[in-house]
Amino acid sequence: MTTAPATTIRRYGIFVDGAFDAADDRSSIARNSPVDGRELAVYAAGDRTDALRAIAAARRAFDDGPWPATSSMDRARTLLRVADLMRANAERLALIEAEETGKPLRYAESDVAGSAELFEYAAGLAMAAHGEAHTGLGEGATALVVREPAGVAAMILPWNFPLLLLAQKLPFALAAGCTAVVKPSEFTSGTALELAGILAEAGVPAGVVNVVTGYGADVGAVLAESPDVDLLSFTGSTATGHAITAASAGTAKRLSMELGGKAANIVFDDADLDDALDGVLFGAFFNNGECCVAGSRLLVQDSIADDFVERLVAAAQQIRVGDPLDGSTDVGPMIHGGHLEKVRAHIASAESHGGRIAVGGGVPRGVETSSGHFVEPTIVLDVTEASPEFHQEIFGPVLTVTRFTDAEEAVALANATEYGLSGSLWTKNIDRALSVAKKLRSGRVWVNTTIDGGPQLPAGGMKQSGYGREMGNAGFEEFTEVKTILIRE
């Protein structure tokens, strides 16, 4: 089944203090379809003044507004209303997400459902939040350790999961009593702006959440530099993460950095190879391969490598590339032309460093004459540590294959990149699973599954993949300050 694209160009102003600015009377950013170049949306190109205005609104809403002082029960009820409204608007949200990102519509639908669940989960956390009391500090002494909202939280987002990654931050911040300034990616701002309208409808007071569209240098940098922002939660590339860290150095704001990844999928010879095959394909090609936790490196044990790779290549040949709104599409176009060129350059580099292309590498059949940013799902064999593609994020539908002999070598190869975001391993041996999982230097490890989880489970990186955690109780605590109160009678 094919879903019809939206027929009108969506126009959005900036959302500050509970209202959208007029969209028409200022410089703007056009978002064109990665499928055919058609204009999809026009966003306001926010500038320093807009960013400062939004920060001031969030500051007022935190210092004077009702939100931080609202009972946790009432905050939870509001978050639940947001989740209901997201579900009521799911079709529109998913269509916008698929059109702007180029991800297959079914993945966009699951992003919307997952985002609503994150609001529901955060509502539960708001109600369950509590502190500690200590009485062992001597006669007549009582100490309280309480969690307070961290203040004004800035959120800067990438383009690959525009709504879902916002939902990994915003409901947790709101549950804690923070106010927020959101800076979505300039390529995919639609669903953050739609969510702003939903938040207002659900009863989130004016100024509590502000959404400023625009480029990183114009809006994001102001959020990093501002002393009125207490906390900045960033998801994006490691290079931008470093720039934000430097820009924020003159302030004492807390940072949470969700950066790049280069995950390994380790397949041992005793694995359920059918499950492993499905998992490796999903890990590599889910969300067009534009996924921070993509299993972009297959590490496969020598003794099974020939057969496993043969089956993998045959399965990859069946992957359907095309329009994200076509229900049969598995992989859509890359986000923009520059990114397509980057992915192609990586494929060429992998080959020039001794890799052998087993499948893909070119323009997919059926879209040769289209103006879309398409690339074939690609598997490159014999990629060694000497190849840049073993280490660098490709962020497209490209899987590299490297062989190993034993668990020790698998761990060494998996840990050989500067990143440490996630990894998967496939084995029926529970001792080996646990021992390898403990040795992987990454924030998440999946055993006999991949890119899996739920709102309860924290996500985040080690090494150059960053620090700080999202989701789960740890994700909630990121948006709180601990205060100790000691009373002596």
258 classed as catalytic: yes
Smallest distance from the beta carbon of 403 to ligand NAD, in angstroms? 26
71 burial level (CB within 10 Å; 0-12, 13-18, 19+): exposed
Smallest distance from the beta carbon of 415 to ligand NAD, in angstroms? 17
Smallest distance from the beta carbon of 397 to ligand NAD, in angstroms? 15
What is d(CA 192, CA 278) in angstroms, rounded to the nearest whole number? 32
Q: CA torsion angle for 240, 242, 243, 249 (degrees, to 10)? A: 150
- When binding is defined by CB under 6 A, the residue of 230, 258, 323, 330 that contacts ligand NAD is 258
Nearest CA-CA partner of 463 in 429, 431, 417, 425: 417
Determine, following the binding rule CB under 6 A, whether residue 185 of this chain makes contact with ligand NAD: yes
Cβ closest to ligand NAD, residue 287 vs residue 378: 287
Q: How many residues bind ligand NAD (CB under 6 A)?
A: 31
Smallest distance from the beta carbon of 256 to ligand NAD, in angstroms? 10
Determine, following the binding rule CB under 6 A, whether residue 102 of this chain makes contact with ligand NAD: no
Determine, following the binding rule CB under 6 A, whether residue 213 of this chain makes contact with ligand NAD: no
Segment 5-9 long-range contacts (CB within 8 Å, at least 24 positions apart)? 5/33, 5/38, 5/95, 5/99, 5/325, 6/40, 6/95, 6/96, 6/99, 9/39, 9/40, 9/41, 9/42
Smallest distance from the beta carbon of 249 to ligand NAD, in angstroms? 13
- When binding is defined by CB under 6 A, the residue of 34, 104, 236, 361 that contacts ligand NAD is 236
Determine, following the binding rule CB under 6 A, whether residue 220 of this chain makes contact with ligand NAD: yes
481 burial level (CB within 10 Å; 0-12, 13-18, 19+): middle
Beta bridge partners of 425: 266, 447
Smallest distance from the beta carbon of 399 to ligand NAD, in angstroms? 16
What is d(CA 232, CA 167) in angstroms, rounded to the nearest whole number? 15
DSSP labels, 145-193:
EEEEE--EEEEE--SSSHHHHHHTTHHHHHHHT-EEEEE--TT--HHHH
* DSSP-assigned letter for residue 326: B
- When binding is defined by CB under 6 A, the residue of 124, 216, 337, 453 that contacts ligand NAD is 216
Determine, following the binding rule CB under 6 A, whether residue 283 of this chain makes contact with ligand NAD: no
- When binding is defined by CB under 6 A, the residue of 160, 301, 442, 450 that contacts ligand NAD is 160
What is d(CA 193, CA 96) in angstroms, rounded to the nearest whole number? 11
Cβ closest to ligand NAD, residue 72 vs residue 237: 237
Determine, following the binding rule CB under 6 A, whether residue 217 of this chain makes contact with ligand NAD: yes
- When binding is defined by CB under 6 A, the residue of 105, 123, 157, 445 that contacts ligand NAD is 157
Determine, following the binding rule CB under 6 A, whether residue 392 of this chain makes contact with ligand NAD: no
Determine, following the binding rule CB under 6 A, whether residue 221 of this chain makes contact with ligand NAD: yes
Q: What residue spans of 215-301 are helical by DSSP H?
A: 221-225, 238-247, 273-285
Terminal CA-CA length for the chain? 72
Cβ closest to ligand NAD, residue 65 vs residue 241: 241
Smallest distance from the beta carbon of 331 to ligand NAD, in angstroms? 17
- Catalytic pick from 258, 290, 389, 393? 258
What is d(CA 49, CA 51) in angstroms, rounded to the nearest whole number? 5
* Residues annotated as catalytic (active site), given as ranges: 258
Residues in touch with ligand NAD (CB under 6 A): 156-160, 165, 183, 185-186, 215-217, 220-221, 224, 235-237, 240, 243-244, 258-261, 292, 393, 395, 421, 461, 465
